[in-house]
């Protein structure tokens, strides 16, 4: 019996090992496949942007739009959370990020051409990998210039976790600010809480991470935390965007704080034409 038990344990161990190695194999193969296909994504026209409106919660007017990257290869289903890290590791994020900046600036300019002055900015996510590249400023300038877009209509979203190399990032952020571009700290409060960047530069926007917002309930600790971050933003004269608003209750909860809201409750990220039809209503700016 003891022998039998030992044997079973060994078998089980071996199977476990096999299970893990097969799973690893599938993952590695998929990653290699994604990397290979991603290389051709731009030339094959497989990249696109969708846009999500940001609303002033007090007036329910659209005050900004975030551009979010989508990739539709022929025979795969891939989310940004899967392919963007791969693009970052391989350096493909550089040409892809340039494409995103260019496309987003062009889109914003097109909306302005179609609708007249719009008092909204377009937000573009940028990876640390892009930010520390020596020609990043030129890439941004070129995108603005070619689209003929005023710099203050572009907001660059930087994720908090990339701000670990504070000196270098502070330098780049300052240079971007000198260009007239707006700076937003994305996923604020999500992890690596570095208040460091707030120490040195005037940031335009703090985006409260969705995970914090999700857990806010009247009277709980998270509410205290989130309320304090909003106050911090106000005292530092940054705008505050609350990410991931999914319910009417959440929208109501944050209305009193005079902040900007973004989330599925108002709109999922949608194609440019839908933003124009539903949210811009040329010249007016539609209310929710
Ligand atoms: P992010 O910048 O924090 O963008 C917000 C993400 O939350 C988006 O996911 C958006 O679709 C999703 N979202 C918005 N409202 C809600 C909500 O109410 N509930 C929930 N559950 N989710 C909501 P998405 O588009 O899948 O993008 C994921 C992440 O990928 C982004 O997070 C950003 O870090 C990165 N990403 C997307 N586009 C780009 C890009 O062009 N360049 C770079 N470098 N990163 C990008
Ligand atoms: Mg973002
Ligand atoms: Mg982001
Ligand atoms: Mg975010």
Measure 269 CA to ligand 1 centroid, in angstroms: 9
Per-residue pLDDT for 225 more than 80?
yes
- Across 119-123, 163-167, 188-192, 277-281, the highest mean pLDDT is recorded for 119-123
ipTM above 0.90, yes or no: yes
Count the alpha carbons within 13 Å of 161 in the hemisphere toward its beta carbon: 6
Q: What is the pLDDT of residues 144-164, one digit of tens each?
A: 999 999 999 999 999 866 556
When pLDDT is averaged across residues 53-77 and rounded to a whole number, the result is: 95
Between 62 and 189, residue with greater pLDDT = 62
Please give the model's pTM, rounded to 2 decimal places. Answer: 0.91
For the CA of 209, the nearest atom of ligand 1: 3
Q: Which atom of ligand 1 is nearest to the CA of 157?
A: 2
Query: For the chain, what is the mean pLDDT?
Result: 89
27 or 73: which leads in pLDDT? 73
pLDDT value at residue 284:
56
CA of 219 to the centre of ligand 2 (A): 28
Q: What is the pLDDT of residues 38-47, one digit of tens each?
A: 999 999 999 9
**What is the number of other CB atoms lying within 10 angstroms of the CB of residue 31?**
16
Which of 105, 125, 265 to probe ligand 1 with, by most ligand atoms within 8 A of CB? 125
Q: How far is the CA of 187 from the centre of ligand 1 (A)?
A: 10
In the block, residue with structure tokens 């890290």: 85
Task: Tell me, in angstroms, the distance from the centre of ligand 4 to residue 118's CA.
Answer: 24
**pLDDT at position 283 over 70:** no
Task: Label residue 14 by pLDDT band (50, 70, 90).
Answer: low
């Amino acid at each position: 019996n003891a022998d039998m038990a030992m044997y079973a344990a060994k078998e089980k161990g071996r199977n476990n090992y096999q299970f893990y190695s097969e799973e690893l194999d599938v993952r590695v193969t998929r990653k290699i496949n994604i990397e290979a296909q991603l290389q051709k994504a731009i030339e094959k026209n497989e990249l696109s942007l969708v846009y999500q409106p940001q609303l002033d919660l007090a007036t329910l007017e659209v005050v900004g739009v975030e551009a979010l990257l989508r990739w539709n290869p022929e025979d795969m289903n891939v989310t940004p959370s899967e392919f963007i890290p791969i693009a970052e590791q391989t350096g493909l994020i550089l040409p892809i990020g340039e494409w995103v900046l260019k496309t987003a600036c062009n889109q914003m300019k097109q909306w302005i051409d179609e609708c007249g002055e719009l008092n909204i900015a377009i937000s573009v996510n940028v990876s640390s990998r892009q930010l520390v590249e020596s020609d990043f400023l030129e890439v941004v300038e070129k995108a603005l210039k070619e689209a003929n877009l005023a710099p203050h209509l572009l907001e660059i979203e930087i994720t908090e976790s990339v701000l670990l190399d504070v000196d270098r990032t502070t330098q780049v952020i300052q240079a971007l600010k000198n260009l007239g571009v707006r700076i937003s700290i994305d996923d604020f409060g999500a992890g690596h809480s570095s208040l460091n960047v707030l120490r040195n530069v005037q940031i335009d926007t703090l985006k409260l991470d969705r995970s914090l917002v999700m857990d806010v309930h009247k009277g709980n600790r998270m509410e205290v935390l989130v309320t304090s971050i909003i106050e911090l933003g106000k005292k530092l004269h940054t705008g505050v965007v609350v990410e991931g608003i999914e319910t009417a209750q959440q929208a109501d909860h944050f209305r009193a704080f005079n902040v900007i809201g973004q989330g599925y409750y108002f709109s999922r990220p949608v194609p440019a034409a839908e933003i124009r039809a539903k949210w811009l209503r040329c010249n007016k700016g539609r209310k929710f």
